[in-house]
């Protein structure tokens, strides 16, 4: 995986938290950029699972037939708002990158959740956003690395391994960073 230069923050790119972010929801997070323009940026965290107890009141998990559904925390804003990322193109969905779509209508969502052989779906609660120029500033301050997004990482890489796997693929100094233990006291 080739690291994209600063100017390549685009829809579908991954933002990978640098070790400079030491706590909070962005600690070791990986986000997919859903929108990036002069007016600001919006993205969803891909590797923060919602604990079952937390997700229970958000959706009736007993009613899910599709084994390819995961519940994730997408960011610190509006945790009661659900976004849907999935692997199957549908009406009212927006293509983020090859094989990855955002949104869809209610009928698509209901059918997908009840389909025992349905596509990969990530139900993401909350989101992350930056006002104009703020994401660029955070990037320049070393808080984020940018690389091209890949559907395999969204739908196949376990969330708890996503940060390390992407850094390894980026190679060089990034691969070295992937080996830093989460708890530095263990080092």
159, part of any domain: yes
CA-CA distance, 17 to 30, in Å (whole number)? 6
47, part of any domain: yes
Residues 6+ apart with CB under 8 A from 140: 6
Q: Per-residue pLDDT averaged across 24-31, rounded?
A: 95
Task: Using the predicted structure, report yes or no on whether residue 61 has a pLDDT greater than 70.
Answer: no
Please name the residue ranges forming H helices in 13-89.
52-56
Whole-angstrom CA distances from 76 to 42, 43, 121 are: 12, 11, 21
Residues 6+ apart with CB under 8 A from 186: none
184, part of any domain: no
Task: Using the predicted structure, report yes or no on whether residue 180 has a pLDDT greater than 90.
Answer: no
185, part of any domain: no
Q: Per-residue pLDDT averaged across 43-66, rounded?
A: 70
87, part of any domain: yes
Task: Using the predicted structure, report yes or no on whether residue 162 has a pLDDT greater than 60.
Answer: yes
187, part of any domain: no
Can you tell me whether residue 20 is helix, strand or coil? coil
- What is the per-residue pLDDT for 53? 52
Considering only CA atoms, which of 70, 28, 24 is closest in space to residue 51?
70
Q: Per-residue pLDDT averaged across 1-19, rounded?
A: 75
Q: Per-residue pLDDT averaged across 35-64, rounded?
A: 75
Residues 6+ apart with CB under 8 A from 130: 40, 41, 42, 138
Q: Read off the pLDDT band of 77 (50, 70, 90).
A: very high
- Which is higher by pLDDT, 166 or 56? 166
Q: Read off the pLDDT band of 4 (50, 70, 90).
A: very low
Neighbours of 106 (CB within 10 A): 8
- Its domain, for residue 80, covers 6-179
User: Tokens for 120?
Assistant: 């990969």
Q: How many domains does the chain have?
A: 1
What CATH number did the domain enclosing 69 receive?
A: 3.40.1740.10
> What average pLDDT does the structure give for the chain?
86
CA-CA distance, 60 to 173, in Å (whole number)? 43
Render pLDDT for 79-125 as a digit per residue (tens, 0 to 9). 889 999 999 988 889 999 999 999 988 888 888 888 888 889 999 99
Single pTM value for the model: 0.87
């Amino acid at each position: 995986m080739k690291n994209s230069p600063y100017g390549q923050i685009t829809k579908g790119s991954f933002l990978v938290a640098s070790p400079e972010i030491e706590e909070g929801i962005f600690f070791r997070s990986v986000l997919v950029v859903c929108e990036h323009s002069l007016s600001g940026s919006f993205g969803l965290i891909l590797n923060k699972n919602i604990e079952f107890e937390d997700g229970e009141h958000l959706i009736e998990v007993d009613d899910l037939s599709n084994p390819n559904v995961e519940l994730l925390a997408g960011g610190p804003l509006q945790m009661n708002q659900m976004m849907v990322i999935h692997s199957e193109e549908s009406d009212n969905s927006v293509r983020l990158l090859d094989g990855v779509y955002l949104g869809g209508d209610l009928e698509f969502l209901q059918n997908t959740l009840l389909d025992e052989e349905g596509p990969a779906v990530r139900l993401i609660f909350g989101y992350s956003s930056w006002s104009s120029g703020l994401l660029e500033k955070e990037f320049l301050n070393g808080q984020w690395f940018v690389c091209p997004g890949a559907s395999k990482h969204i739908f196949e890489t376990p969330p708890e391994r996503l940060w390390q796997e992407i850094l390894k693929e980026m190679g060089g100094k990034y691969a070295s960073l992937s080996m830093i233990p989460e708890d530095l006291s263990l080092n």
